[in-house]
Amino acid sequence: MLRWVRQQLGFDPPHQSDTRTIYIANRFPQHGHYVPQKFADNRIISSKYTVWNFVPKNLFEQFRRVANFYFLIIFLVQLMIDTPTSPITSGLPLFFVITVTAIKQGYEDWLRHKADNEVNGAPVYVVRSGGLVKTRSKNIRVGDIVRVAKDETFPVDLVLLSSDRVDGSCHVTTASLDGETNLKTHVAVPETAVLQSVANLDKLVAVIECQQPEADLYRFVGRITISQQTEEIVRPLGPESLLLRGARLKNTKEIFGVAVYTGMETKMALNYKSKSQKRSAVEKSMNSFLIIYLIILLFEAILSTILKYAWQAEEKWDEPWYNGKTEHERNSSKILRFISDFLAFLVLYNFIIPISLYVTVEMQKFLGSFFIGWDLDLYHEETNQRAQVNTSDLNEELGQVEYVFTDKTGTLTENEMQFRECSINGIKYQEVNGKLTPEGFSEDSPDGNRHSLMKEEELFLKAVCLCHTVQINADQTDGADGPWHANGIAAPLEYYASSPDEKALVEAASRVGVVFTGTSGDSMEIKSLGKPERYKLLHVLEFDPNRRRMSVIVESPSGEKLLFTKGAESSILPRSKSGEIDKTRIHVDEFALKGLRTLCVAYRRFTPEEYQEVGKRLHEARTALQQREERLADVFNFIERDLELLGATGVEDKLQEKVQETIEALRLAGIKVWVLTGDKHETAVSVSLSCGHFHRTMNILELVQHKSDSTCAEQLRQLAKRIKEDHVIQHGLVVDGTSLSLALREHEKLFMDVCKNCSAVLCCRMAPLQKAKVVRLLKTSPEKPITLAIGDGANDVSMIQEAHVGIGIMGKEGRQAVRNSDYAIARFKFLSKLLFVHGHFYYIRIATLVQYFFYKNVCFITPQFLYQFFCLFSQQTLYDSVYLTLYNICFTSLPVLIYSLFEQHVHPHVLQSKPVLYRDISKNAHLGFKPFLYWTILGFFHAFVFFYGSYLLMGEDTSLLGNGQMFGNWTFGTLVFTVMVITVTMKMALETHFWTWINHFVTWGSIVFYFIFSLFYGGIIWPFLHTQDMYFVFVQLLSSGSAWFAIILIVVACLFLDVVKKVLYRHLQPTSTEKAQLTEAGSGINCLDSMCCVSAGEAAGASLRGVLERVTGRCGAGRPSRSWSSSDPFYANDRSILTLSTMDSATC
C-alpha cells in the first residue's frame, strides 16, 4: 500500500545497485538470507492525472498562470470586503475559463487512460506451474517466461530463450519504436535455444544479471548463468538477445522469452518523450503586456484612492447629508479604510486584464493547427502522407524563423540509393547493363563484354555480399535454388535493410553475378556466378558512429577464417597496410566530387593462432558486465587492423524535387540556411552546390582538418579578415566536425562572427550532439534569432529538440525525427508553404488577436475610471454586473476568434510566390512595443470618445424623451456600453480583409445578440434576480431618437480617424504586403482592403477624390471572389483548402 502511495506521488525509490539479478520463472534461492529485488509492475501509464489528483493538480497548473491567479485574488477580495461589484462578475468568467480548460485537459487525459487500459488489459500467455496460463499484460512480473506468437507485439522487454527454429533465432520489426521497417534478427543462447516446449522451459534453472533500465534502444549488457547438472555455463547477452516491448514478431511461429524490464521501466516507456515546453515569442510578448497592464491597473487604483481622500478632505463631501456614515465607519482605522478602498478600486478596474485571452489563444492554436493537416498542398500523394502537427503552441513561430538548420541525407535528398561506380584494386568500374565495366571500356569493346569476373572483382563483390545486415523476405528463402515464378523465371530477391546504402550495394552485386541468397542458422549463403557457396558466420562486429565501420568474421568453404570490413574511408584507409591505397584514395575523392556517398571495403586473413586470440578476447569483452562498450571498442580496434584494401563504392542519393527552388525562396525571405551533415567534406560541398545552397559565384571559405586550437584560431582570424577585405557579395563557409569542436571550445565569439557574415554555412562530418550544439550556440547568441531544425533520422532528434521549431521529415530513416518534432512534413519542398503561408497567416492572426484583446479591455474599463470623477470616487459602477460578466465571454469574443482562424490578408498564392513578404513580419514586427503602444493609445482614445461623447450628448439638463423625462445613471452607462460593443466589433470588421459567411454571421450576429439579450434582460422581471437595476432601461433608451443619433455619431467619430489613417498610410507609406494586396493577379479590379477597391491600371497614389470614393464605398466595380477553381490557370496548382468560399457583394 505504501509503495502504491509513493508511486502515485511520484516518489518511487530508485534502484539501489547498478545491476539487477533475475531468477528465471522466479525460482529464488532457498537460503534464508536472500532478499528479492523490487521491480515495477507491467502497467503502462501515459496519463497525467488520476481520479484522486485531477482536481488539485489541474487547478495548481492553471493558477500558475498570472491572469488566472490574479482573478482568483480579485474574487477572494470581493468575497472578503464590501466591493462595488458582485463577486460573480469576477468569479463567473474565472469559473468559465478554468472549467473549459479543465474539461479539455480532462478529456485528453481520459483518452490516454482508455488507451492505457486497452494495452494493460491485453491477453498474454505466461509459463507457470508447468503449463501455459492466460493472463492480462499488466500481471506479468519480472522473471516470468512469456510466449509470443507470430505477428503479436511483445508485452514486455524479453530476453529470448527459444523459438520454433532449431538455432533459436527469430525476426522482429521495430517500426513502432524507431520506424525501421526492415526485419532484425535476434538469437537465443545455444543452451536455451533447444528448450522449445513448455515442459522443458519449466525445468530451466538460470539466472540473468543485467544493467538497470536505460532509454537507449540499441544498448543492452547482461549475462545468463545456466545450471546444468553440476556445472554452470555463462553466456553473454547483448542487444541481439533483447526483444523490446512494442516490437512485433515476424516470420517466426512463436518464441519464449523471460521478462527483464516491465511497465514504465521498458525501453519503450523510457523513450516516452516528455518534451521540454517550448514557448513562442508571442507568448513571451503576451506576458510582458500583462505586466504593463497590471501597472496601469495599480496606477488607476492608487490614483482613485488618493483623489477620493483628497476630495473628502472637505467636510461637506466627507459625510454628505444624503449618505451618512455608520458608527463603525466613523471609528474604523484610516489605514484600514485606505487599504479597503484601494482593494475596492482594484476590483472595479480589474477587467482591464483580459482573463479570456488565454482560453481564446488556446482555442485559436488548437483549432488553427488543423488547417496544416488539411492543406492538400502539404499532402504527398506517392507515400499517402499529410502534414502532421505535434505541437500547436508554436504555430505563429513558423512566421518568425531567421535560421534553418537542415540535415542532408533524406532531407535534401531522397535517401534512395543507386549504385553508380566502384573502385576495385585501383581500377574504376561502372555498371553497364548488369555488368561491371572498367572505366574507358564500352559494352562493345573487346574487354567490355566479359562473362566472368577477375579474382579481385569477385573477392570485392563477395565482401559486399557478406559484410552487411541485410535480410531477405522469408517467403523467398525456402528452397536451395532460390525463388521461382510459375513461368520458370527466377524471381528477384526482395531485400530489407536498415541502411539504404547496404541495400543498394547488395542489389548491385546481385545484378553483376554475386547474389546473397540468405542466411541459414549461422551460415550465410551466396551464389557466385551461379555457383552456391556457404560461409559460416563466426562473429559480427557491429557498426557504431565512433568507429564508422562494421565487420564480419566468416569461415570460407575451404575453412579459411576471413575478416571483411566496410566503412568510411577515414576509418578504413589508415588501417590498411596493402592494396592500391593511393589510387583508391584518389577515386574516393573523385566520387565525392560527383556528390556520391562513398564506402571503402577491405579484408584480412587470420591464421589459426590469430583467430583463437580474437575469439578469446571477444568472449571476454562480451561477457563483461562493467565497461563492456569500452572493452569491445578496444577488441574491435585490435581485430580491424593490418587490412588489405579491396576497393571503394560510390552510391548516388538523388536530390528531392524542388529543393533548389525552396532554398532560394528561403534566402529571398531573409532566412539563412545551414546544412549540417555527417557526410565527408567533398560529398557535402558537391551536394550543396547542386541544391543551390552554395552558388558557383559564391566565395567559399573553409575551416577544415584542424587538429590544434592555435591553427584553428589563426584560420578563423584569417577568414574574418578576408570577409572584411573582400567585396564579394556572398560568402559560404565549410566547417568539419573536428574543427568545429575546436572552434566551439575557446573561440565561440570569433566563430559566430564569421558565420553571421556568411550567407550559407555547411558543417560536415558532424556528430548528432554537435548538430544540437551549433543550434544552441546560435539560439543563445545576443540577437536571440528564431531557429528551425529539419531532419529525417534519429541522428537529427537532438537538433530538432534544441531548435525553437523542430520539423521532422517522414523519410526512410524511421520515425524518430517525426515523433520528436513539433511538425512533420513528407518533403523538404513543403517547408516553403509551411513558413511563407501558414507561418505568415498564424503570426498575423495571433498578433492582431492579442493586441485587440488588450484594446477592447482598455475601451471597457477606462470609462469606468472616468466615471469616478463624476461620482465622488464612491466606487459606483458604470455598467450593470451582468454586462461586466458577459462583455468578454459573449458580446465580443466570437468575431476575434473567427478572425484569428480564417483571416487571409494576402492570397496564399501571392505569399508563396513572393517570399520577400516574409520579411515584413520578421523579428516580431507586428507584436513589438510600437504596435502595442498604438493599440493601447487607440483604446484610451476610443474610451474617452465613448464617455465624453455620451456625456456631452446627454448633458446634465438634456431630456431625451418626448415627455421631458430625464435619464438616470444606468441609462448613461448602458449608452456608453452599447456604443462600446458596436465600436469594438466594427473595429474588428475594419481589420478583416478576408470575409467569409462565418465572419459576417459572427460580426453582425454579435451586435444583434447584444440588442436581443438586453431587451430580454431589461424587459422582463426575473424572479431569481435579487435586484434588477436595468428593468426597462434598455427599452427606454432605444425608444429615444436622440439616443440612436448619439450611438451612430459616436461610433462614426471613433472609426473615422481609423479609416483615414489606414488609407493614408497605405497610399503614402505602403509596406510590401500592402503593395501585394494591390496586385493580386488575374483581375482588372483588385481589393485594396475589405472596404476599398482600386483598378489595376490606377496608380497607388491616386487623387484624393478617388481615395474618398473608395472609403465611402462608391467604387462601382464588384469585388472579385477570393475563391478559385482548377479552371483558373493562376491558381490551378494551389489546392489549399485554407481559403473558404467568399460572399460576393455588390460593392467592395
| Distance (Å, whole) CA 1109 – CA 1111 | 6
- Residue 184 DSSP symbol: E
Provide the 3-class DSSP secondary structure of residue 624.
coil
Reference 467, options 524, 533, 418; nearest CA is 524
Reference 580, options 516, 526, 642, 647; nearest CA is 647
Calculate the CA 307 to chain-centre distance: 53
| Distance (Å, whole) CA 319 – CA 929 | 45
Catalytic residue among 377, 407, 653, 1134: 407
Question: Is-contact 663 259, C-beta < 8 A?
Answer: no
How would you write 389-443 as a 3-class SS string? ECCHHHHHHHHCCCEEEECCCCCCEEEEEEEEEEEECCEEEEEECCEEEECCCCC
| Distance (Å, whole) CA 994 – CA 1142 | 8
- Residue 434 backbone class (left: φ over 0; alpha: ψ -120 to 50; beta: rest): left
Total count of residues recorded for the chain: 1148
Question: Is-contact 385 826, C-beta < 8 A?
Answer: yes
Question: Is-contact 532 480, C-beta < 8 A?
Answer: yes
- Exposed e or buried b for every residue in 175-203, given b needs 16+ CB within 10 A? eebbbbebbbebbbbebbbebbebeebbe
β-bridge mates for residue 518, sequence order: 525
- DSSP 3-state percent helix, strand, coil across the chain (nearest 5): 45, 20, 35
Dihedral (Cα; 776, 778, 781, 783), 10-degree rounding: -130
> Which amino acid appears at position 22 of this protein?
I
Residue 642 is among the residues annotated as catalytic for this protein: no
Question: Is-contact 224 159, C-beta < 8 A?
Answer: yes
| Distance (Å, whole) CA 961 – CA 974 | 16
Q: Give strand ranges (E) for 523-621.
A: 523-528, 531-544, 549-555, 561-567, 576-578, 596-606
> Which amino acid appears at position 690 of this protein?
S
| Distance (Å, whole) CA 174 – CA 541 | 21
Reference 1064, options 994, 1111, 1097; nearest CA is 1111
β-bridge mates for residue 228, sequence order: 231
Q: Largest alpha-carbon pair distance within the chain? A: 125
Please report, for residues 309, 390, 573, 709, 901, the alpha-carbon distance to residue 570 in angstroms, rounded to integers and kept in the order given: 84, 39, 6, 22, 53
| Distance (Å, whole) CA 258 – CA 706 | 50
Task: Please classify residue 530 by burial: count the beta carbons closer than 10 Å to its beta carbon, then call 0-12 exposed, 13-18 middle and 19+ buried.
Answer: exposed
β-bridge mates for residue 185, sequence order: 171
Question: Is-contact 843 407, C-beta < 8 A?
Answer: no
Secondary structure (DSSP) of 239-285: GGGEEPTT-EEES-SEEEEEEEE-GGGSHHHHT---------HHHHH
| Distance (Å, whole) CA 781 – CA 804 | 13
Could you give the residue numbers annotated as active site?
Answer: 407
